[in-house]
Structure formats: structure tokens, C-alpha cells
A and B are shown apart, each in its own frame.
Chain A
Amino acid sequence: MKGNTASRLKKVLSAGHLAVTSECGPPRGSDPEVITKKANLIKDHVDAVNITDNQTSVTRMCSLAACIRLKLLGLDPVLQMVTRDRNRIAIQSDILGAASYDISNILCLSGDHQSFGDCAQGQNVHDLDSMQLIQTVRHMRDDGKFLGGDEIKRPPQMFVGAAANPFADPFEIRVPRLAKKIKAGAEFIQTQCIYNLDKFEEWMKLTRDRGLHEQVYILAGMTPMKSAGMAKYMKNRVPGMDVPDELVKRLSDTPKEKQAEEGIKICIEDIQRLKEVKGVSGFHVMAIEWEEMVPEIVEKSGLYPRPEV
């Protein structure tokens, strides 16, 4: 691989450790404390922190500014970038801006449709799609050139990631789509939240059958359930989510005041099971507005302390 990035995440992965990442959503306001506080809660327990980019199309503080704050605190941020809101000029420009702070990880996404958010009447851009964004970052890094062909002075050095949904439809393209992202240049993958472990393991098997696990680092996405209500919501309302009935039942059968604790327990059990799956290179723990639970999950899953690299 050409580029030489200072990504801590990449170093952990290439040293053969199971990596741990988490995510923070920026605030709906300009208070910098919100993001730094969240980051400080988890910084000793993760290798890198994703900063979401106006997730679910609700307008928030920009991912880039929040990433810069984390970088200045000495953390390794993962800049999430959606193609919904930027054309290729803005994309390249934001990448350079991030690179000027040596932000060294990027996660390339298309983004939820704007109709979910607070600006449903707005335009979307989608000049590029997520695969083409991967190609763009790789082109800027590896060839040191803009899309227009001109040379970039001090090209960005970024570890390039993409999302994957092992449960997405149509099912026959779940693995081919991963292959396509790898072909586009993805170096690490963070998956959609995994609740159906059997199905995920089947996807991993198909992935291994094609040797794809040797071409990309796959981080399994884990989100602890806070309550039976959340499980039901995820099952019925969130597109592309596969929540088995047994999980909903297990939470529903737990007394209300103990459901959160049970959710954490399930998450830890799942991580421990998936640690044994060949091709799983780490975990992306997304405790949505529940960041304070990340240290406990990481410790009890046997992923603490984080390696020095």
C-alpha cells in the first residue's frame, strides 16, 4: 500500500490486534464541550472515534470541525463524510482541510436521504456516490492528484473506510457489494449494527470464501439496546436492520429497570462470540447517546487495555 498515514487505527489493525472504534454525534449547536466531553469518556478505551456527518439528515455541527477538536486533543478521529451534501469540489476541499490537521481516517458514505431530517425540502447533491468517494480519496492520496488531474501539494494521507450492511437487500449482492467497495479502494469496513449473529457469520463465511477478509479489515458494528422499546423500534422502523425475535423477547422478558443492563450484557456476549469469527478485525461500538457505557463494554469484552502502537 502506497500512502503512509499516521492513523492509529491502521497501526492497531496492521499489527494484528482487534481494533475498537466508537462514534460520537456532534451537537445541534456550537458548544465544543459536548463533543470533547463525549470523546473524553471513551478515549482510553478505543483506538479511533468516528464523528458522524449530519446523521439521519438532521443538521448538526459539522463532522470536520468536531474531528479537528478531537485531533487537537490527541485522539484519532474518523471523519465520516456523506455525498449527500457536497459536490466533488466540496468533497476534495474538505478532505484537504481535514488533511491539513492530519486527520487520517475517513469513512465514505452516501448518507441518509434528506427526507428523514430537519431539511426535508432541501436539495441533495449526490454528485458522487459512496464508492466514487472511496475512489476519490484513494486517487488524491495514492496518485497525489485532484480529480481534475492537477497535482496536489502535500496530498492527504488517509486510511480509507466504508460501511457495509451484511443484512441489506437484495441478498445476492451483499458480498459482491463488499467486493466492489474493496475494488474501489476501501481498506477498512465498519458494518451496520449486528443483532442477527447467525446471519452475520454466514456473511463472513461468504466473505472468506472469496478471500475478501484478507483484503480489508472488517470491524463488526455493535450497538447495545437500551430497552425492549428500542429493540422493537430498530426491528420495525430502521431500514436494513435485522433484529431477531429472540432478542426482542429476551429484553421484553426483563423487568423494565433492568433492560438497559441486559442490553449491555447482550452486547458483551455478542462481541465475545464474534471475536472468534475469522476475518473479524475489530469492533465498532456505537452506543447512541450512551457513550458512557463504552468503557464498560470494552472492558468486559476483554478488549481493554488498548494496545500501544
Chain B
Amino acid sequence: MIVADKKPIEEIIEELGAHEKILILGCNECVTVCEAGGKKEVGILASALRMYFLNQERDVKIDEETLQRQCDHEYLEEIRDKVDQYDAIVSIACGVGVQFTAEKYFSTPVYPGVNTCFMGATEERGLWTERCQGCGQCILARTGGICPVSRCAKRVLNGPCGGSSDGKCEINKEVICAWQLIVERLKALDRFDDYEELSPLKDWSTDRAGGPRKVVREDVQP
């Protein structure tokens, strides 16, 4: 899933400036799972903002709404009838949701309420870690199912680098060296000989480097 983290309320307050009718818009998907932008977080943020503005003696209307998704037209359409009631939206979906909402409701300012972080997994409640950077050409088959692009601080394809120590990364003793994991997994799979295969230069044109990407699937297009 896409993992996001809450923005400090102070920052959201600053974004909102002088707006007086604000919709807090959550999303039922990834950001709900990572407890940053679901219905509950909409409630907390809205309540906090209401108290803040009251305390500032400002008459600001704060409403709450949570959509099934903000990255699909059909769900975003659900708020079309009431968007005009607001002079700003705070979307606490991921950056995709914020932008899709902004594209759809072009004349309404849409502010981000979370920091979108990465694609990752829930290791335990309250701990999410990165697993994928969407490079567009998956090499996991070669690396024992562990991704050096997303999990090595230098995305070294023929690792580890010289900074690997006791299985930990040089940047931080809490970060596990991805190449340590790869070597362990290759051994467990009885494929340790593969380690000496040189990984060729990667084609990064399908990565961020290639510019905004799209996937076109004619087979499923209407």
C-alpha cells in the first residue's frame, strides 16, 4: 500500500490561511490502513481544527467526509454536489488523491493533510516499512525476492557496498543491509552461486528518470 504520515496540525492551519468553509476529505484505502487519512483521522483533524478556530474566535465551518477512494473518478464524483459549499478542501489521502481531487474540482483549493511517504508494508501496528519504488522493471527474480532499489540506501545492484557492517547499513544501525538479506535468501534458496552473476546496468527510463509514467492496457480499455 501507499504509506503516508500525518502532517503537523500547525502546518495544516498555516495552509488554510483565511478560508472559512473547509471540507476534510479522507480516503478508505491505503491511508486508512496506515492510520493517517481514514475516517477516524478525518474526525480527529476536524475536531482539532474546530477547536482551534473557535479559540481564535474565527467562525470557520469544518465538515467531514471520507470517500471509498480518491484515486477513482466515480468515488470523487460523490462530493460534486456539495463542493460549492466549501472554499477549501483538505485531502488526507495520499498525494495521488490530493491531486486527483484538485484536478476534478479545479476552482477549489485542495491542500494536503498528510505527507505521502512510500509503498510499503505493515510490519506491525504503527510500523510501516518501504518495499517498492515502482522502478517499472522488476528485478526481484534475480535478487532473491528482496529489492535493492528500494531497500539499499545506494540502490546498489551488485552489493553490498563497503558500508555493510554486522548486517546493518552504514546510514543507520537500525537499517538492515538489503544485500545481507539477499545473500541470506539466495543461500536459503540454494542459489548462492547466482551471487557472482553481475547485474547489468539498469534501464532507469521506466523509473522516475523517464518522466511521468503511464500504463496503457488496451485489453481492458472500454
Contact = CB atoms under 8 A, between A and B. Distances in A.
Contacts of B154: 83-84, 110-111, 113, 124, 126, 129
A130 B161 contact: yes
A71 interface: no
B155 interface: yes
Interface string B72-101: 000000000000000000000000000000
Contacts of A132: 157-158, 199-201
A239 B198 contact: no
B163 interface: yes
A176 B201 CA distance: 20
B180 interface: yes
A135 B165 contact: no
Contacts of B196: 176, 179-180, 183
A163 B162 contact: yes
Interface stretch (A164-172, A265-273, A282-290): A164-172
Interface of A: 83-84, 88, 110-113, 115-116, 124, 126-132, 135-136, 147, 163, 165, 168-170, 172-173, 176-177, 179-180, 183-184, 192, 239-240
Contact of B162 (A128, A147, A192): A192
B158 A131 contact: yes
Interface string B158-193: 111111111100110000010110011001000010
A112 B162 CA distance: 9
A239 B195 contact: no
B136 to A, nearest CB: 15
6 contacts: A110-B156, A115-B171, A129-B158, A136-B201, A169-B180, A183-B198
Given A127-B204, A180-B198, A192-B162, A113 B153 contact: yes
Given A170-B167, A177-B160, 14 more contacts: A110-B156, A113-B154, A113-B163, A130-B156, A131-B199, A169-B166, A169-B177, A169-B180, A170-B183, A173-B160, A183-B198, A239-B164, A239-B165, A240-B170
B170 A147 contact: no
Contact of B156 (A115, A126, A136): A126
B165 A113 contact: no
A93 to B, nearest CB: 16
B162 A240 contact: yes
Question: Which of A110, A127, A128, A176: most chain B Cβ within 10 A?
Answer: A110
Contact of A169 (B156, B165, B192, B195): B165
Contact of A147 (B156, B161, B195, B201): B201
A88 to B, nearest CB: 7
Given A131-B198, A135-B201, A184-B198, A169 B167 contact: yes
A116 B198 CA distance: 28
A112 B170 CA distance: 8
B161 A110 contact: yes
Contacts of A131: 157-158, 198-199
Question: Which of B164, B167, B192: most chain A Cβ within 10 A?
Answer: B164
A170 B184 CA distance: 9
A180 B160 contact: no
A126 B157 CA distance: 10
